[in-house]
Copies of this chain bind each other. A is one copy, B any other.
Amino acid sequence: MNTQTLILAILNFDDATGYEIKKQSSEGAFSFFVDISFGSIYPTLSRLEAEGYVTSRSESQSGKPDKKIYAITDAGRAEFIKMLDVVPQRDKFKSEFLLTGMCADLCSQKTIEQAINKQIADTQDILDMIIDRGQSCDHAATQWVTSFGLHVKQATLEYLKNNRESLIALAGDQQVVKDAAE
């Protein structure tokens, strides 16, 4: 999932500034399966423009730096479609929470409680975001993806809530953890 493809995908939906691209990748419809930072967006946009895949127009604003609104070109769209045509590589999933969970017996109850509470809150956050974005979009393919996310995150949240206590129960009692710390 390189920055370039993601930017082209976002611009294919609508013109946007670098700032808006970042927002969409972190808070928008794309955010539950991608994320990029400013440090990779701006340089990539410049490169993409130099290569003719996007164009930009500037809008001057009082106080703020000029807004550079980028738009995808036909060449950009063709390039994007070409990239979509290669079989997607396997999803990447990394979870510190699950690593902690797997070692629950080494942790104090407080640690495990904090960890799972945060995990539940994070999942709820994403779920809320998906519901919010899903409502306000009538693009069929986006809705398919939204609905996928909804389904999976709901199952995730359900499991976490139903099994919260049982994970906490696995935490080492004070004594065990204290012994290990010595």
Contact = CB atoms under 8 A, between A and B. Distances in A.
A30 B99 CA distance: 8
Contacts of A84: 99-100, 103, 106-107, 111
Interface in A92-108: 92-108
Copies in the complex: 2
Interface residues of A, number: 66
A103 B5 CA distance: 11
Contacts of A181: 78, 81
A151 B144 contact: no
Contacts of A96: 1, 5, 88-89, 91
Nearest to A141: B104
Given A33-B93, A152-B155, A156-B152, A100 B88 contact: yes
A123 to B, nearest CB: 9
A149 to B, nearest CB: 8
A81 B177 CA distance: 9
A170 B5 contact: no
Between A106, A119, A149, the greatest number of chain B beta carbons within 10 A of the residue's beta carbon is seen for A106
B144 A167 contact: yes
Contacts of A97: 88, 91
Contacts of A6: 99
A178 to B, nearest CB: 11
Contacts of A155: 151-152, 155-156
A50 interface: no
A122 interface: yes
Given A32-B93, A77-B106, 7 more contacts: A5-B96, A30-B102, A88-B95, A91-B93, A101-B141, A101-B148, A105-B140
